[in-house]
Amino acid sequence: MSDYNFAYLDEDTKRMIRRAILKGLAIPGYQVPFASREMPMPYGWGTGGVQVTASVLTPDDTLKVIDQGADDTTNAVSIRRFFERTADVETTEHASKARVIQTRHRIPEEPLSEDQILVYQVPIPEPLRFLEPSEVETRRMHALEDYGLMHVKLYEDIAKHGNIATAYAYPVKVEGRYVMDPSPIPKFDNPKMNMGAIQLFGAGREQRIYALPPYTQVVSLDFEDHPFDPSKAEHPCALCGAQDSYLDEIITDDDGGRMFVCSDSDYCAGRRAAGFVGPAAPDGALTTWRGTPSKGRDSMGDAT
Amino acid sequence: MTDPTPILNVRGLTKNYGRQIGCVDVDFALFPGEVIGIVGESGSGKSTLLNCMAGHLTPTSGEVLFDTRTDGPRDVLTMSEPERRMLGRTDWAFVHQNPRDGLRMAVSAGGNVGERLMAVGARHYGDIRGAATDWLGRVEIDSHRIDDRPATFSGGMQQRLQIARNLVTGPRLAFMDEPTGGLDVSVQARLLDLLRALVRDMGLSAVIVTHDLAVVRLLADRLMVMKSGHVVETGLTDQVLDDPQHAYTQLLVSSVLQV
């Protein structure tokens, strides 16, 4: 065991964060301010998610950490190691075996169940932020349910691109009341948010926590004549052949060669272990391939 | 024939900025389809009065009764904030002197016009775009500019766009704060012409604040002259301008430059 208090944060801090989480669960989609602590990692690396995970973790929990769907990228590895050291909890890469899953920018492909908690890392919790810079005004807009502006953004998308071009952080309305930023998950994942697991969102730099209780109604905003479309790349996974999973495009050479593979590394590995083979999986050559290669910072904004 | 209910009835409206006077004890009634002009020099309390009526400022005392569609006359000052906001984007229009205050400069012209529609629940892109195109036409903006940002428009076009954005929900009452301020005279003339046509076609009631007597001569049925926060003279526009009674009004009328 380490010299840290269980899961790094002191008990008073965890209690404060749990109170914010409970309030968030009581008012789904409402951003609860909390006194975010400085964590031993930079903002943008999941400080909000880490604090939420630390507060809900118990010694017999099993933890899984993913970053863009993959278990083996820098962000995921470092946070997993952080909790291995400070909480001494078991960790896993299998979504079904985990009790707490901390995620950056994806929801696992495998459906989550009622005894699981999904913790999101959130860079900017305010869905109206880029439309209305004033925090005072956006809070008033939430209070008064004054959400016309959100549709102005979607209108602008269609006017400019012919369709709703927002592909990630696609705004949703929760239980017919609060408009919420689902963190920068691809819009493909939006329909999955109607799930049995508890979903908690932590934004460390912005000091906000919000939450969705199990089976909360989450509706993606759209127009009647431009309905919400949870699109993905029109390919099967090159390694496991899955037609229904969200895909990453991998550049394989500098001649325009590319392949599409599952962004959820656990899902892809599970399918390949079960004998599914994709069109580009050479015999044995890629059997140790697991998800995406470690990547640089992406344009989706940094998770906090 | 009975008198119609006034669409706006202001009683004893007073606004103090600490010991400074904004406007004092203003009373007037505005009837449906009527346009009232408020003139006076800078600092006379015109804009204070307008902002108090539109709910942007909280007056020190007084009542502003608006004849709502559903509940009849109600004091807008005691309404809840959501109700007032709802009025602000359905039955009311507010045209700022500087179009940049009333427009979203980073949003296309079509989005600007459509915002009010979306705020009251329009969720059909084609319909919203159709209404926006229609309104751009009505304020004489070429429909192929619908996806351009207002920043690329001239001052006169921005002001016309602001008017379209405000009138798209078919309001019954418009507050206008110096709608022609800052525009050159030929553009002013076109805008006035347009405003007069819109007011007549839509049966709009309006309160127009200006220091330009030519504007009220063209648009307003009645006139209120303000000086140092007090209303010093009221009456039919032509009557006040042709036969001013109060010393200040006489000064104001005689100060107009003749070409």
ipTM: 0.86
Instruction: Report the gap between the CA of A228 and the closest CA in chain B (Å).
Output: 12
Selecting from B85, B89, B118 the residue whose C-beta is nearest the C-beta of A155 gives B118
Residue A275 structure tokens? 């004998």
Residues of A in contact with B126 (CB under 8 A): 225
B244 at A interface, C-beta within 8 A: no
pLDDT class for A289, splitting at 50, 70, 90?
very low
Write the CB contacts of A81 (distance below 8 Å, at least 6 apart in sequence). Answer: none
Q: Which stretch of DSSP H or E encloses residue B64?
A: strand B61-68
Q: What is the dihedral of CA B74, B76, B81, B86, to 10 degrees?
A: 70
User: Residue B20, Cβ neighbours under 10 Å: how many?
Assistant: 8
Query: Mind listing the pLDDT tens digit for each residue in A72-121?
Result: 999 999 999 999 999 999 999 999 999 999 999 999 999 999 999 999 99
Known catalytic residue at A275: no
Dihedral (CA of B239, B240, B245, B250) sign? negative
Q: How many helices (H) and strands (E) does chain B have?
A: 10, 10
Mean pLDDT, consecutive 10-residue segments, chain B of 259 residues?
A: 81 92 92 92 90 91 92 90 89 92 92 94 94 93 94 92 93 92 82 87 91 88 93 94 92 82
Q: What is the dihedral of CA A94, A95, A101, A106, to 10 degrees?
A: 110
Range list of β-strands (E), chain A: 32-33, 62-67, 90-91, 100-104, 117-121, 172-174, 178-180, 198-203, 208-212, 218-220, 247-251, 258-262
Q: Does A300 have pLDDT greater than 50?
A: no
Q: How far apart are CA B219 and CA B43, in angstroms?
A: 23
pTM of the model: 0.85
Residue of B nearest to A148 (CA): B119
Q: Does A294 have pLDDT greater than 60?
A: no
- Residue to test with chain B: of A151, A154, A219, A226, most B Cβ within 10 A: A151
pLDDT class for A297, splitting at 50, 70, 90?
very low
Known catalytic residue at A44: no
Place of tokens 């071009």: A165
Find the length of chain B: 259
What pLDDT does residue A2 have?
59
**Average pLDDT estimate for A8-25:** 97
Q: Does A298 have pLDDT greater than 60?
A: no
**DSSP string for residues in A244-275:** SS-EEEEE-STTS-EEEEES-HHHHHHHHHTT
**Average pLDDT estimate for A204-224:** 96
* Of B89, B92, B162, B96, the residue nearest B122 (C-alpha): B89
Spot the catalytic one: A24, A69, A240, A291. Answer: A240
A130 at B interface, C-beta within 8 A: no
* Of B244, B255, B226, the residue nearest B38 (C-alpha): B226
A224 at B interface, C-beta within 8 A: yes
What pLDDT does residue B148 have?
95
Selecting from B107, B108, B124 the residue whose C-beta is nearest the C-beta of A225 gives B124
Q: Does A304 have pLDDT greater than 70?
A: no
Q: Which stretch of DSSP H or E encloses residue A153?
A: helix A148-161
**B40, B202 contact by CB (below 8 A):** no
B81 at A interface, C-beta within 8 A: yes
What pLDDT does residue B259 have?
67
- Residue B59 has phi, psi (to 5 degrees) of -70, 160
Q: How far apart are CA A188 and CA A125, in angstroms?
A: 19
pLDDT class for A162, splitting at 50, 70, 90?
very high
Touching B: A residues 132-171, CB under 8 Å: 144-149, 151-152, 155-156, 158-160
- Residue to test with chain A: of B89, B103, B113, B123, most A Cβ within 10 A: B123
